[in-house]
Each structure stands twice: as C-alpha cells, then as structure tokens.
C-alpha cells in the first residue's frame, strides 16, 4: 500500500459523516498509531463508536476494518524509526502481561505464515537449492541471525555453500562477483529493509543466478528480483524485530532439503558424532547415582 491510501482518505472528506471525518483526520495525521489500534480503540481515541469505525472502513472501499488496518500497516512497514516503534510499543502492548501478549502475537504470525506461504514456490525453491552449483546466503543487520541459522545447518548438507559477509557494501559485491547461471542466491531481509540486501539481490538477478527471497510480503523491495518468494509474517509489534515466523519458515526449508538428502545426511551426522565425541564438543550427561 502506498501513500495513495492517505490521499484517498483526505479526498473523501466531503462525503463522510461528522464522526467519519474525525476518524479520517486522525488516520491521516496519526496513521503510524492507527495502524495498530483495534476498531474499538480507534473509536475511543476520536470519540466515536466502534460501529462508526467499521462503517468508515466500508465507506472508503474496504471489506471490513481488519483490511483497512492491514493496509495501514503495509503503508508504514518500512517507515517507522526505532523511536517511533518504541512509541507504538507503548501504545499497543502497554506494561502489563507483556509475555503473554508478545507470545500470542508471534503465534498469530506463524499461523498467518502457514496460511499464506505458496507451496509451489516453496517446493521450487527446494529443487533449485538441491540443483545449485553454488549457494550464496545473505542477511544483514537483524536478518544476519537468520542467515547464520540457515548457513549453520546447510553447512552440514552442502559443500558448495557461502555465507556472504556484510561488513561493507563493497565486500558484499566482491563476494558475489563470480555468481552466475546455475547458482542460487538467498537474500533474507525484513523491515526496515537493508539497502545493501536490495542492491545485492538486483545484482544477483542480473547475473542469471536463481534468486530465492525470504522476506515479509510480495510488496518487499526484493520481490521483483526473486524467482521464488518465500514470505513470513514479521508484522512490527515493537522496536524489536520479530523473527519467529521467518525462523520457522527457514526451519521448514532446512527440513525439506534435508529429507531429500537424508541418506547423505545420516552418514554426515554419524561422522560428526564421532568427531564431537573425540573433541568433547558437547557436555556429556553425568551418570545417575544408583
């Protein structure tokens, strides 16, 4: 959703009732807050009933308030600064029952991801990874933790694997310079999107590499350059990026690839267990007293 939504709301002002004009004025001037308010809370903020808020959503062309709310969230997804996120956190979550609220919201993100992810795109991504000559993984800033998780397990499965270091823009391009047809590039980026991730994805596409994007929606700036787009909900609820649903999606990708190569992986883990045992990699359980 673009700025056109706010322009549309402003343009319809003359056709709205007095109560609906109050809602429109609040949304246009405080859309970063309105996007995370329930219909009841938005009504209370402007002094109208919840039903007036719902009718307002229908009046401006949405089939219910949740659709309007999601459109506003798409509008601000990559615009809020960390300070603004902190303000939204205070409004939306408050200071009580934080544990339960955050866990419940993350559960909802996983549910929505499971409902919306494209099975055909997911299966095609698995095929491309298995057929790749070289596999490149890139994640910058908070997405680096996701890239490292994917690399950690893929490193047990593949020899042709590279985790792209992102300490500088030039270093990113130096590491993917030789990428080409037959290779797979996996950029991982979520709001606020990294500019380096976007440019690297554009470059990867230009080389003829197969691009598998892991991001939040088909509105993501890397989407136009992806052959397969794997989307996980990361709807902002606080100044902290929620990576729960993206991590679950990546976990599914690792398992799907692993099941296709389970014979090789079984042998790999047998060998690794011997190495881990020899070099005391893991703490050994202590014998229980009789």
pLDDT at 29: 86
**Ranges in the chain annotated CATH 3.40.50.10490:** 115-277
pLDDT at 184: 98
CA distance to 88, 131, 186, 236, 245, per residue, from 240 (Å)? 11, 36, 23, 8, 14
Q: What DSSP element (H or E) covers 219?
A: none
Tell me how far apart the alpha carbons of residues 213 and 246 are, in angstroms, rounded to a whole number: 12
Tell me how far apart the alpha carbons of residues 62 and 50 are, in angstroms, rounded to a whole number: 16
pLDDT at 238: 57
Mean pLDDT of residues grouped by 10 in the chain (290 residues)? 72 88 91 85 94 94 90 71 59 71 86 91 97 97 95 95 85 93 96 91 97 92 96 72 92 96 89 89 76
DSSP-assigned states of every residue in 109-164 = HHHHHHHHS-HHHHHHHHHHHHH-SSEEEEE-GGGHHHHHHHHHHHTTT-SSEEEP
Domain 4-111 has CATH 1.10.10.10: yes
Whether omega before 82 lies within 30 degrees of 0, making that bond cis, reads no
Kindly give, in sequence order, each residue whose CB lies less than 8 Å from that of residue 84, ignoring residues fewer than 6 positions away. 32
**Ranges in the chain annotated CATH 1.10.10.10:** 4-111
pLDDT at 2: 42
Residue 225 per-residue DSSP state = G
User: What 3-state class would DSSP assign to 231?
Assistant: strand
CATH of region 115-277, choose from 3.20.20.70, 3.30.750.24, 3.40.190.10, 3.40.50.10490: 3.40.50.10490
pLDDT at 98: 80
pLDDT at 154: 97
């Amino acid at each position: 959703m673009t700025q056109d939504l706010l322009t549309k709301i402003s343009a319809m002002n003359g056709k709205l009732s007095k109560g609906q004009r109050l809602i429109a004025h609040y949304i246009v001037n405080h859309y970063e807050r309105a996007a995370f308010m329930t219909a009841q809370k938005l009504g209370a903020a402007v002094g109208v009933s919840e039903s007036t808020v719902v009718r307002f959503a229908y009046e401006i062309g949405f089939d219910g308030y949740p659709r309007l709310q999601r459109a506003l969230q798409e509008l601000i997804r990559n615009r809020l600064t960390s300070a603004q996120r902190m303000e939204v956190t205070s409004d939306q979550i408050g200071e009580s029952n934080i544990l339960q609220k955050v866990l419940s919201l993350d559960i909802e993100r996983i549910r929505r991801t499971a409902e919306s992810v494209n099975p055909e795109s997911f299966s095609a991504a698995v095929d491309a990874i298995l057929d790749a000559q070289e596999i490149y993984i890139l994640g910058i800033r908070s997405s680096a933790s996701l890239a490292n998780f994917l690399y950690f397990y893929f490193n047990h499965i593949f020899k042709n694997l590279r985790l792209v270091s992102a300490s500088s823009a030039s270093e990113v391009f130096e590491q993917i310079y030789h990428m080409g047809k037959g290779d797979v590039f996996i950029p991982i980026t979520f709001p606020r999107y990294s500019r380096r991730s976007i440019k690297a994805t554009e470059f990867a596409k230009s080389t003829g590499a197969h691009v598998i994007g892991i991001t939040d929606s088909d509105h993501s700036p890397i989407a136009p350059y992806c052959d397969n787009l794997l989307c996980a909900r990361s709807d902002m609820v606080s100044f902290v990026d929620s990576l729960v649903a993206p991590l679950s999606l990546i976990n599914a990708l690792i398992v799907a690839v692993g099941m296709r190569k389970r014979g090789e992986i079984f042998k790999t883990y047998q060998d690794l267990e011997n190495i881990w045992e020899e070099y005391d990699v893991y703490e050994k359980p202590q014998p229980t007293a009789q």
